[in-house]
Structure 1
């Protein structure tokens, strides 16, 4: 991600998909995932994240 426009597009994708996958954007060989945990009212109450090295 190099520009503000890239960041805005990434945030749009995250909101559309409901999760994020960082495929080696920070470091080679590291893939990270993140997603909210929603309650019955679809409000975030926690988050889950994981990484594959």
Structure 2
């Protein structure tokens, strides 16, 4: 029996950084970050969940 192990990479930079920036990120920063993650062959990007507030 041959087993092939596949490693998947998850980046949580935006999720963790959101705790410090109250999930405010410039759109250009997010766009550049996601392009870099795509070019780096990162399998998953975790963004977290921002609870909506009135007016947001």
Normalized against structure 1, the TM-score is what? 0.33
Higher relative contact order (CA 8 A, sep 6+): 2
Greater strand fraction, Structure 1 or Structure 2: 1
When Rg is computed on C-alpha atoms for both structures, the one with the higher figure is: 2
Normalized against structure 2, the TM-score is what? 0.32
Greater helix fraction, Structure 1 or Structure 2: 2
